Structure 1
Amino acid sequence: MIGNDIAFDELAYRRALGGFGTGVALIAAHDVQGRAHGVIVNSLTSVSLAPPVILWCLGAGCAAFEVFTSCRSFSVNILGSGDLALARQFSRRGERLLPDDRLTGMETGAPVLAGALASLDCRMRSRGPVGDHEVIYGDVASFRAMGAGDALGYFRGGYVTLASGA
């Protein structure tokens, strides 16, 4: 129920939200053994420019939930249109490890995806549960942007290319 008036239709709600096009990001963090895990999200928001703070949301059912909720640092990697296969691979259910040959590092030591359109190197600020997700806030310690290239987007249940220009 929403309030006391109407029955809640989760599928219809997802379809409604699907009308809001988003970018696609790969979040990466090390587990306690030093392995780099990745998860695809489209729930990424800039919270503040001064200081630079972002937030993203992680489903409670994510196989690497403990990795991302217990890490001290993580990277946010904005995917380009050429990263479609990577996005599909890391959006599937199950644990996903990033290959070392695709990784680099920045200030915090979190794994960073080489070749991403942009990468944000973040320190965990705070986190907390909201419904069936964990909302994770990060303080941006450093960032880099690659410049040219179209972004990978998500719209109405599918991946799309977000090209520059109107």
Structure 2
Amino acid sequence: MTFDLKDYRAALGSFATGVTIVTALDSVGNGHGLTVNSFASVSLEPALVLWCLGNKSDSYELFATCTAYGVNILSDDQTDLAMRFAGKGDQRLASGEYGKLATGSPILPGTIAAFDAKVVERINAGDHLILIGETQAYQRHDGNGLAYFRGKFGSTAALSGS
């Protein structure tokens, strides 16, 4: 079956998602981030999460070989941060720009939740790599989340009643 890929992508964009920045450390300990909306919970016991990495990502080698990653769920006032890590090129974090939990993966401040996960499985699927991680630690904070729908950012405020 053949699809008009531009139209197919627009149809997929009709599914509203949250916005995350997935983070990992490179081989010399520098933090890197990548904006991702393909985050999902897999299982509560064990505590598994996943996200999908595009095979053409500038950060592919780093994330495809990392042993752990952080998933930082953005608050609705972090659109600039989402855009910073959505583009091509250098997506390094400055030292002091993040904290750490169990694995040492970068955990960003100001998020509404963060998950620190150890990679337990990698699955090649089409033009993406699925990274399944077992959550080692997490944190949760009050606030509204950043949402993405049909190419635009918004807030989950209407859903939370704030």
Aligned residues: 160
* Whole-angstrom CA distance in 1 between matches of 2:122 and 2:161: 36
The runs of 4+ residues in structure 1 deviating greater than 6 Å are none
* Whole-angstrom CA distance in 2 between matches of 1:159 and 1:125: 31
Aligned to 2:87: 92
Matching residue within 54, 62, 71 for 2:66: 71
Aligned to 1:160: 154
* 1:34-49 matches, cutoff 5 A: 34-49=29-44
Per the normalisation by structure 2, the TM-score is 0.95
Per the normalisation by structure 1, the TM-score is 0.93
Which structure has the greater CA radius of gyration?
Answer: 1
Residue 10 (structure 1) aligned with residue 5 (structure 2): yes
* Whole-angstrom CA distance in 1 between matches of 2:104 and 2:32: 14
Identity of aligned residues (%): 39
Instruction: Give the root-mean-square deviation of aligned CA atoms.
Output: 1.2
- Deviation at residue 165 of structure 1 after TM alignment: 3.1
Aligned to 2:140: 145
Residue 124 (structure 1) aligned with residue 141 (structure 2): no
Structure 2, gaps ≥5 residues long: none
Structure 1 residue identity aligned to 2:118: R
- Deviation at residue 100 of structure 1 after TM alignment: 2.0
Deviations 1:75-112 (A, max 9, x none): 00000011110101100112300122220010111111
* Whole-angstrom CA distance in 1 between matches of 2:62 and 2:7: 31
* Whole-angstrom CA distance in 2 between matches of 1:165 and 1:55: 28
